[in-house]
Structure 1
Amino acid sequence: MPAAASPAELASSPEPAAGLGPAPGAGPSTGAEPAGRWAALAVLGTGTLLALAPWFSASAVAPLLAAEWHTTGLQLPLLTVAVQLGFAAAALVLAASAAADVVPGRWLFFVGASVAAAGNLGFALLATDAASALPFRVLTGAGIAAVYPVALKLIAGWFRAGRGLAIGVLIGALTIGSALPHLFRAIGAMNGLDWRWVVGAASVAAVAGGLLVLILARPGPFETPASRFSPTVAAAAFREPAVRLANLGYLGHMWELYAMWTWVPAFIAASFLAAGERDPGVASLASFTVVAAGGIGCVVAGALADRLGRTTMTIAAMVASGSCAIAVGFTFGAAPVLLLAIAIPWGITVVADSAQFSTAVSELAPRGTAGSALSLQVAAGFVLTGVTIIGVGFLAPTDALGWRLAFGSLALGPLVGIVAMWRLRARPEAVRMASGRR
């Protein structure tokens, strides 16, 4: 966003835009903010929400794929891992080529959304088993890499004051967009639709989001050139202990986030079934609610982060999400309302701190290095998500004990992240974050 960036935190954004303060030299020095900034945020937020729909489409229809394709072992989780790897590779390529400076942002967003939609539609119409689906999933991830980071770059051109809230809204849009296939699956289940219609709906949403941004989005007055990725420059940034600690916090966050988004729908479906709820549409609707609830956390955290401080926000979010990861496994087979009482707060807190880690890197990295450091951070984070998604698959949880072990292992990420951010808070360089609020 989680990402995101969440997941894609400013991999191809202008270096200063990764933070929440004004970009040096960007726009006029008067205190006036552009009159169209909230309209721009509405367009980019809605476009991002729709364009991200293909991301977890395979996860949303996993039980139907398993029945039709007779999948075994790790075949289904690999469909999500393929998206993650496609995203990481394409994000680095886009950053290294500075494509955002060559192609207008709204066109790059549209092309990315269209590529993601095409890959997703190929998965629905052309794939005949898990192996043949993998290239289409990689293509989907590559397309998304031109969507979310570009949206962040575009919105940074419209906001100086309130940029934290704006970025929080975009990460919230990513979160709800990632949940959207579960809503489509719920509707499909209630109407007896084949899984291909569900996946196809995600592609339609992505094209609609791309068209919305292409037609209505415009660059803002504070837009600055995207920084080109350089491994040498990134290495210089990571020689700084504070940057390494902020990145370790981000990796702890990513350890948990995408594995949670991938596996919590399967957990909910199995738990509801064990509790006697046999309607798959109800389970899918619950999954949508849990994942989409993260949008609330993103907006609130984005609004509060500059006032409370980066380390305070991230530590609080990781304490909450890690605790929920441990607790939720104990609700397996319980009444659905009890499960949701833990799962929804988990959905809110697991992504709430996404923007703060990359914002911290942008504030701590030596001048001229933040863009490359963020690109490397994103790539490392998304590769790590593949490890934890597969790791939960290796544990093959099927009962209460299995899910406790699986989700309990995800709490290791927040634990490492808490330690890293606590150590960062104690360093003298921490005063450079959030206007001295650490």
Structure 2
Amino acid sequence: MRLPVIPTIVFAQLFGGSLWFSANGVGEALMREWGIGPAQIGQLTNAVQLGFILGTLGFALTGLADRFAASRIFAVCALIGAAANAAFALLAEGMASALVLRFIVGLSLAGVYPLGMKLIVSWVPEQAGHALALLVGMLTLGTALPHGLKLAGGGAWQAVLLGASGLALAAAVMIFALGDGPHLKRRDGAPRLRMGAVLAAFRLPVFRASALGYFGHMWELYAVWTLVPLLVAGSSLATLAPVSGLSFAIIGIGALGCFAGGHISRRTGSAPVAAVALATSGLCCALFPWVADAAPVGLLAFFLVWGLSVPADSPQFSAMSARACPPEIVGSALALQNAIGFALTIVSISWVTALVADWGPKVAWLLLPGPVLGVIALLPLLRKPSAR
């Protein structure tokens, strides 16, 4: 009996995505035990981002993402990520070894996130916008999951990372058992994949506009997720509940934003949903310094709106980019788009974590150019209904 396709892929993405921010979920404990600060937590995050960038570039430029079965790549990479994450918990004794292991986790995630998107398109291309919204929603929830594991466990920080590794192992088994879908087969007469052939995707106007919008979105997204526990800990919200629980709620609610955006996109198309989400999160960047001293309940409501909107555009960008590409390069094109977008996150994460201690809430203004430029990039698709 075949596994249910969409639930299997999206829950595997949830479990695999828990590796991404597993170190951030125990950031407070690491800062106490290792004597490090927010900048070093940013370095651990950026080690994952750098590994992901190099991995996705490798998949994209070599065409490996479209040469081999996506399900097999996903399963192998999830196993590698689970092992590296467990090694961080059991073997890392300081920043030097920790950075290497987090880098390996990032490399492995290059075979989980974009290949998960390709699996969705290979099974249900006609539902790409909606199904990718579920997928990215689960990735968002997976990003928040380490904070939830920490809140639920309340024990040693190593247990949180080992829990995430166990979930990634389950993801590998699920996707290996599911296999690849019947779509995205190479067309008869399609040219052989050549090294770097995926770069031609940027000649396609719809792909180019979608990718540029995605890059603006990425400038903000992971920097916000990195900042959330730091900003919450320094605000009046710390009097309401544990920082881990609040961080889980603020990041995790983004899954609902993705789900709602996917539902709405069935009627409006992907471009309007992406534009509204970008504009909303950009407005939050602009307003945050003015509301940071608000009463706890009002500030929590603001954070939840920000958390809801900041990832909601991501699946719509992926859906637009996937629809714009020939089927034989979809996996490579999505991997390349991810690689460039995540390269931008290294800059924004480094910048905001280095300055948050001095700038305080005003650090949010450094993220505002991303949403603004992303909306501008989307304008051609908003005027062209057929491209949505």
Task: Name the residue aligned to 2:344.
Answer: 384
Task: Name the residue aligned to 2:298.
Answer: 338
Shift of 1:356: 2.3
- Hey, what's the Cα distance between the residues in 1 that align with 2:301 and 2:28? 24
- TM-score, normalised to structure 1, is 0.80
* CA displacement 1:238-268 (0-9 Å, x = unmatched): 3455544332211110011110111112211
| SS at structure 2 position matched to 1:352 | coil
Task: Name the residue aligned to 2:100.
Answer: 135
Matched, 1:48 2:13: yes
Q: What does residue range 89-108 of structure 1 map to in structure 2 within 5 Å? A: 89-100=54-65, 103-108=68-73
Q: What does residue range 235-246 of structure 1 map to in structure 2 within 5 Å? A: 236-239=200-203, 243-246=207-210
- Hey, what's the Cα distance between the residues in 2 that align with 1:87 and 1:366? 24
| SS at structure 2 position matched to 1:351 | coil
- Structure 2 CA distance for partners of 1:36 and 1:253, relative to 1, 3 Å: same
Matched, 1:262 2:223: no
Contact 1:171 1:298 in 2 (8 A): yes
Task: Name the residue aligned to 2:85.
Answer: 120
Task: Name the residue aligned to 2:387.
Answer: 433
Greater helix content:
2
Task: Name the residue aligned to 1:419.
Answer: 376
Shift of 1:67: 1.1
- Structure 2 CA distance for partners of 1:111 and 1:336, relative to 1, 3 Å: farther
- Hey, what's the Cα distance between the residues in 2 that align with 1:214 and 1:283? 36
Shift of 1:390: 0.5
Shift of 1:331: 4.0
- Structure 2 CA distance for partners of 1:258 and 1:98, relative to 1, 3 Å: same
Q: What does residue range 173-212 of structure 1 map to in structure 2 within 5 Å? A: 173-189=138-154, 193-212=155-174
- TM-score, normalised to structure 2, is 0.89
What is the CA RMSD across the aligned residues, in angstroms? 2.7
Letter in 1 for 2:387: M
- Structure 2 CA distance for partners of 1:62 and 1:229, relative to 1, 3 Å: farther
Contact 2:286 2:368 in 1 (8 A): yes
Higher deviation after alignment, 92-101 or 416-425: 92-101
Contact 2:81 2:104 in 1 (8 A): yes
- Hey, what's the Cα distance between the residues in 1 that align with 2:197 and 2:250? 40
- Hey, what's the Cα distance between the residues in 2 that align with 1:170 and 1:153? 11
* CA displacement 1:186-240 (0-9 Å, x = unmatched): 1233xxx12111122111111122223333x133332525995743551x44345
Task: Name the residue aligned to 1:170.
Answer: 135
Name the % identity: 38
* CA displacement 1:45-66 (0-9 Å, x = unmatched): 1111111111001111111111
- Structure 2 CA distance for partners of 1:108 and 1:238, relative to 1, 3 Å: closer
Task: Name the residue aligned to 1:317.
Answer: 277
- Hey, what's the Cα distance between the residues in 2 that align with 1:291 and 1:276? 19
- Structure 2 CA distance for partners of 1:406 and 1:180, relative to 1, 3 Å: same
Matched, 1:247 2:211: yes
Shift of 1:144: 1.2
- Hey, what's the Cα distance between the residues in 2 that align with 1:143 and 1:406? 31
- Structure 2 CA distance for partners of 1:369 and 1:287, relative to 1, 3 Å: same
| SS at structure 2 position matched to 1:220 | coil
Gaps of 5+ in 1: 1-34
Contact 1:229 1:375 in 2 (8 A): no
* CA displacement 1:108-156 (0-9 Å, x = unmatched): 2221111111111111121111222111001101111111222222222
- Structure 2 CA distance for partners of 1:182 and 1:424, relative to 1, 3 Å: same
Shift of 1:288: 0.7
Shift of 1:99: 3.7
Which residue of 180, 195, 198 corresponds with 1:219? 180
- Hey, what's the Cα distance between the residues in 2 that align with 1:372 and 1:196? 35
Contact 1:101 1:225 in 2 (8 A): no
State how many pairs are aligned: 384
- Hey, what's the Cα distance between the residues in 2 that align with 1:416 and 1:196? 40
Shift of 1:422: 2.1
Letter in 2 for 1:397: A
